[in-house]
């Protein structure tokens, strides 16, 4: 025995020396996974920094509806009664309109915007520096987008922390290894925080409703768990849960699925609770939802369940053009069932693709961006659609099998399905094909499922002397995916800087979206209003704007806003041609504008802007005819059309009519139109000067002492304003 012992090699020194080092590494790794506070700090910092490059952004897209041009939000705290007592759209449109099916009632986020206005806004002023007030003499405020973007980023970071804590509490009884428990919660929260699909909700201020509904709902689920786990604090946590659920409901209606998801979380992760307890826990959330819906929402929006918005492609993507009964024109008709459900399934596949591979991203999926093979409407006969259907059927079967066995992956799948159901277009139309923000809440389920996959990978590894290596593998896998997501998020954020940046960026991704082409035309035309921009650059942008409007019309022939914008582009181009002394080209452009506005009248005669815009077109055309081509009678004819369209209230039309009749030797009509112009713009020195001249001419033509007296009166008035006035320097 002794001899054998001598012949035995000594214990390998490296193993003896490395064991303490390996243990130290293991302890170091474990220390992070067991330090909840460290993980919370890290998640908050990462979540906030992911959107740090949005803090200097401006308002964009629908921010005007809820902030910039919302009459309730701009009143600050004085706007709260309107915010809580009216449909969300009333503050922008000024009256209850059935713009979307079922109405919208989301007062909580609007209330936060109003509070920001009160605390950080500045009193609004007009161009002359006068304070702007509403019809009740209440001060209006201008917002601070930097503050709003900062608050969005902070709220998002808080949401990520609450998600981490909820997953920790959810799986605590099931996962005995606390390192694995922390890893699962951290992975879920990090994947959620970094996902690029969230840029629409966080980088766009209006997207706060998505953040708040998810924060309130997850917080309600978390505090419900705490109430079950800590009976001594039952009422405290249960009350907090109900309060958080109300915050979610008043932020957005998509919190409704949590009526089921909260009790379902008990079924999966608190197996000691019987069915009777699950039903009891369902009751307070059902009551809260009923109070919200029937006591607050329905009275505020005034919806009777019968009135629906007018049939319009921008509100109903499941419409297509078909020959009208007369065989000469086309009308919109509903999709066939195969086309509708085929399109719905196609978008489901797109959502899954974007969750896994979030590229390319766009803010707009309106018609006709969603197209299947051969640029046709997807249908249930398309192979790709059928594959998507089979995939979702497989997920449903997998989820059902897991539900029976209370498998955590099944909860993640059901969470995704339940929160997605309200925006899926399967049960009721939501007004658009799809949107990235609609994945904000469902992506919690996706993040949890992904983290569970990483956890399963770790558990399959041996956990002896390879423990450090295995945890490193899991961590590096998590960091690799999160880093890719984070890069895409940070890279996508600058597109949301403002309307111009967003629309001109995303039209490259969604070239077949009628709405986005229309929006690009609008922002390009706003761009040319810069007085310092060279004329050549203005013309280039206007030609581009006209092209996008034409594309929108091609996609949606009865799109009145696109016809209007195309007409406006033609007017601007005509004015530039007039300045370049190309009158014939200018006249053609004004005629094209008038033709566009006539199309608006065909599709929507009551459009609030068409008469004003057509007035400008006829007026500009008259100016070219009279001043550039000396065709006085033709100019007067055009001005008469402008006069009729404006109901005699357009100052420039009245001024030009006075000048035209004055040049034409009719001082009586000239003085009449100058008088009407003065009624529109009192004490205008140019009109007073022209009135003196018109009445002098009228007096010379036999108008008598009355005309002479009028001439003297108007002469005194303009000289009192500016005795050195020289019309040659103004006109």
Q: What is the pLDDT of residues 286-303, one digit of tens each?
A: 999 999 999 999 998 875
The dihedral sign for the CA sequence 272, 276, 278, 283 = negative
* Tokens 């701009």 found at: 74
Helix (H) or strand (E) holding 322: strand 319-323
Helix (H) or strand (E) holding 200: helix 199-203
* Tokens 């629908």 found at: 62
Please list the ranges in the chain whose pLDDT falls under 50.
Answer: 1-6, 11-19, 464-469, 731
* pLDDT at position 457: 82
Burial class of residue 351 in the structure, from the number of CB atoms within 10 Å of its CB (0-12 exposed, 13-18 middle, 19+ buried): buried
Question: Residue 157 has which token pair?
Answer: 């970071």
* pLDDT at position 13: 46
Q: Calculate the alpha carbon distances from 666 to 269, 634, 662, 711 in Å.
A: 91, 16, 5, 16
Find how far residue 621's CA is from the centre of its chain.
Answer: 38
The dihedral sign for the CA sequence 66, 72, 74, 80 = negative
Question: How many C-beta neighbours within 10 Å does residue 698 have?
Answer: 21
Burial class of residue 22 in the structure, from the number of CB atoms within 10 Å of its CB (0-12 exposed, 13-18 middle, 19+ buried): middle
Instruction: Tell whether pTM > 0.85.
Output: yes
* pLDDT at position 459: 74
57: Cβ–Cβ under 8 A, 6 or more apart, which residues?
145, 146, 149, 203, 493, 496, 497, 498
- Judge contact between 347 and 434, C-beta under 8 A: yes
* pLDDT at position 303: 58
* pLDDT at position 470: 56
* pLDDT at position 531: 92
Axis-axis angle for helices 383-405, 337-356 (nearest 10): 70
Burial class of residue 313 in the structure, from the number of CB atoms within 10 Å of its CB (0-12 exposed, 13-18 middle, 19+ buried): buried
Peptide bond between residue 112 and the one before it cis (omega within 30 degrees of 0) = no
SS3 125: strand
* pLDDT at position 309: 56
Select from 486, 575, 565 the least CA-distant residue to 535: 575
């Amino acid at each position: 025995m002794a001899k054998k012992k001598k012949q035995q090699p000594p214990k390998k020194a490296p193993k003896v020396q490395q064991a303490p080092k390996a243990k130290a590494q293991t302890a170091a790794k474990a220390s992070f996974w067991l330090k909840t506070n460290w993980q919370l700090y890290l998640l908050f910092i990462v979540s906030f920094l992911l959107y740090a490059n949005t803090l200097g952004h401006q308002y964009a897209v629908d921010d005007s509806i809820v902030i910039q041009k919302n009459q309730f939000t701009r009143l600050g705290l004085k706007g709260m009664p309107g915010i809580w007592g009216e449909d969300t759209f009333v503050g922008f449109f000024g009256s209850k309109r059935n713009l979307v099916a079922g109405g919208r009632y989301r007062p909580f986020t609007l209330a936060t915007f109003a509070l920001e206005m009160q605390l950080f806004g500045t009193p609004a002023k007009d161009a002359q520096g006068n304070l702007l007030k509403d019809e009740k003499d209440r001060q209006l405020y201008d917002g601070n987008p930097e503050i709003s973007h900062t608050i969005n980023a902070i709220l998002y970071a808080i949401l990520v922390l609450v998600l981490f804590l909820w997953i920790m509490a959810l799986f605590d009884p099931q996962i005995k290894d606390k390192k694995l428990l922390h890893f699962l919660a951290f992975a879920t929260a990090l994947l959620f925080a970094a996902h690029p699909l969230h840029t629409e909700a966080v980088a766009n201020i209006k997207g706060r409703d998505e953040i708040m509904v998810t924060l309130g709902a997850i917080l309600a689920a978390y505090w419900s768990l705490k109430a079950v786990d800590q009976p001594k604090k039952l009422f405290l946590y249960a009350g907090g849960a109900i309060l958080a659920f109300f915050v979610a409901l008043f932020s957005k209606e998509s919190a409704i699925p949590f009526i089921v998801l909260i009790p379902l979380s008990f079924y999966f992760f608190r197996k000691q609770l019987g069915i009777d307890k699950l039903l009891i826990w369902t009751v307070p959330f059902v009551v809260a939802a009923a109070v919200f819906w029937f006591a607050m929402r329905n009275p505020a929006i005034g919806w009777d369940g019968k009135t629906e918005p007018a049939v319009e492609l921008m509100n109903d993507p499941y419409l297509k053009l078909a020959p009208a009964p007369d065989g000469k024109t086309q009308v919109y008709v509903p999709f066939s069932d195969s086309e509708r459900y085929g399109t719905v399934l196609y978008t489901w596949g797109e959502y899954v693709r974007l969750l896994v591979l979030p590229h390319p991203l766009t803010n707009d999926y309106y018609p006709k961006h969603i197209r299947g093979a051969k640029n046709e409407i997807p249908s249930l006969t398309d192979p790709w659609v059928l594959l998507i259907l089979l995939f979702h059927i497989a997920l449903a079967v997998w989820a059902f099998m897991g539900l029976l066995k209370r498998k955590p992956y099944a909860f993640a799948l059901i969470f995704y399905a339940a929160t997605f159901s309200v925006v899926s277009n399967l049960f009721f139309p939501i007004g658009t094909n799809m949107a990235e923000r609609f994945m904000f809440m469902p992506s919690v389920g996706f993040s949890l499922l992904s983290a569970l996959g990483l956890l399963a990978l770790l558990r399959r590894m041996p956990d002896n002397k390879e423990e450090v290596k295995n945890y490193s593998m899991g961590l590096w896998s998590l960091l690799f995916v999160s880093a890719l997501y984070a890069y895409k998020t940070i890279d996508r954020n600058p597109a949301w800087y403002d309307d111009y940046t967003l629309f001109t960026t995303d039209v490259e991704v969604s070239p077949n979206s009628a709405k986005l082409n229309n929006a690009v035309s609008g922002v390009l035309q706003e761009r040319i209003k810069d007085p310092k921009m060279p004329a050549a650059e203005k013309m280039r942008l206007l030609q581009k704007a006209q092209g996008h409007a034409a594309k929108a019309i091609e996609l949606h022939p009865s799109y009145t806003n696109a016809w209007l914008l195309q007409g406006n582009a033609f007017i601007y181009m005509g004015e530039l041609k007039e300045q370049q002394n190309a009158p014939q080209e200018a006249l053609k452009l004004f005629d094209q504008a008038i033709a566009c506005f006539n199309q608006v009248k065909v599709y929507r005669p009551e459009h609030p802007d068409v008469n004003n815009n057509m007035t400008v077109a006829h007026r500009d055309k008259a100016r070219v005819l009279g001043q550039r081509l000396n065709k006085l009678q033709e100019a007067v004819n055009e001005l008469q059309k402008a006069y009729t369209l404006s109901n005699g209230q357009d100052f420039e039309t009245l001024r030009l009519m006075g000048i035209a009749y004055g040049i034409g030797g009719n001082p009586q009509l000239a003085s009449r139109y100058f008088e009407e112009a003065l009624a529109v713009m009192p004490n205008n020195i140019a009109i007073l000067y022209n009135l003196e001249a018109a009445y002098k001419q009228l007096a010379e033509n036999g108008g008598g002492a009355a005309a002479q007296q009028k001439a003297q009166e108007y002469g005194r008035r303009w000289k009192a304003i500016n005795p050195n006035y020289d019309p040659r320097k103004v006109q």
